[in-house]
C-alpha cells in the first residue's frame, strides 16, 4: 500500500489539523484550476448556501460560489481527482479504521472581497460528515492577499495560507473555522469524507 498519504495523516494525528503542502501533484492541481476557471467563465457556478435549509441571509455569512464535482461529468481531471480520493480513503480506512464510505467535493471560488464567517462543517440534523478537506489551487499567492483559513483550536486561531497544492484535513464536528476576507480570487476544492 502506498505511503504517500502518511504525511497528511501523521500531521493530523499530531495536531488535529493535517496539512500537506504537496498532497495534489502540481500537474493535477493545474488541470483542476483550469477546469474550475473554465466552468466559472461558463456561469456553471452558483452562490453557496449555509446548512441544508434555505436561508435568506446567507450572504451575511459567506460570499463564495461553488460547483459540485461528479464522476457523471465525465471530466478526465475530475476522474483523476476522484481516483486520488478513492486511494486516500482506502489508506485512511485501513490505517486509521476511519469507516469512511463516501465523499462529496465541490470547486469553490471566493471573489475579491468575499469571506466565510466562523462555522462548523456539520449539519444539525445530519452527522455523516466526518472529515473536512480543502485543497488549494492558487498560483503565486502572496502575503497580503488575504483569504487565510483560520481554524480554531482551544480558542486559539491558526491561520493557513491558501497556497497552491496545499491540503488541509480535520474532523468536521470538532474544528470551527472561517475564511478571512480575500483581496483577490481564491480557488479551492472543498469537501467531506462521510460515514
Of 37, 36, 58, which is closest to residue 47 (Cα–Cα)?
Answer: 58
pLDDT of residue 31: 97
Which residues on neighbouring strands pair with residue 156, listed in sequence order? 153
Bridge partners, 102 (sequence order): 194
Name the DSSP class of 47.
E
Alpha-carbon distance of 68 to 87, in angstroms, equals 20
Q: How many CB atoms lie within 10 A of CB 165?
A: 19
Per-residue pLDDT tens listing for the chain (195 residues): 457 899 999 999 999 999 999 999 999 999 999 999 999 999 999 998 766 554 545 677 889 999 999 999 999 999 999 999 999 999 999 999 999 999 999 999 999 999 999 999 987 777 899 999 999 999 999 999 999 999 999 878 899 999 999 999 999 999 999 999 999 999 999 999 999
Helix (H, G, I), strand (E, B) or coil at 107: strand
Give CA 131 to chain center in angstroms. 10
**Pick from 23, 69, 33: which is nearest to 165 by CA?**
23
Amino acid at each position: 500500500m502506498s505511503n504517500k498519504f502518511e504525511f497528511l495523516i501523521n500531521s493530523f494525528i499530531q495536531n488535529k489539523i493535517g496539512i500537506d503542502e504537496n498532497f495534489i501533484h502540481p500537474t493535477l492541481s493545474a488541470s483542476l484550476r483550469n477546469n474550475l476557471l473554465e466552468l466559472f467563465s461558463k456561469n456553471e457556478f452558483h452562490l453557496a448556501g449555509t446548512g441544508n435549509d434555505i436561508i435568506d441571509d446567507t450572504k451575511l455569512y459567506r460570499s463564495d460560489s461553488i460547483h459540485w464535482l461528479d464522476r457523471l461529468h465525465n471530466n478526465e481531471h475530475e476522474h483523476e481527482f476522484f481516483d486520488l480520493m478513492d486511494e486516500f480513503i482506502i489508506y485512511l480506512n485501513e490505517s486509521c479504521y476511519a469507516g469512511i464510505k463516501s465523499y462529496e467535493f465541490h470547486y469553490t471560488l471566493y471573489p475579491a472581497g468575499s469571506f466565510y464567517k466562523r462555522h462548523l462543517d456539520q449539519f444539525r440534523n445530519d452527522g455523516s460528515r466526518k472529515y473536512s478537506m480543502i485543497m488549494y489551487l492558487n498560483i503565486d499567492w502572496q502575503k497580503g492577499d488575504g483569504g487565510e483559513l483560520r481554524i480554531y483550536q482551544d480558542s486559539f486561531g491558526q491561520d493557513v495560507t491558501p497556497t497552491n497544492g496545499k491540503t488541509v484535513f480535520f474532523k468536521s464536528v470538532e474544528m470551527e473555522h472561517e475564511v478571512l476576507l480575500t483581496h483577490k480570487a481564491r480557488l479551492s476544492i472543498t469537501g467531506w469524507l462521510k460515514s
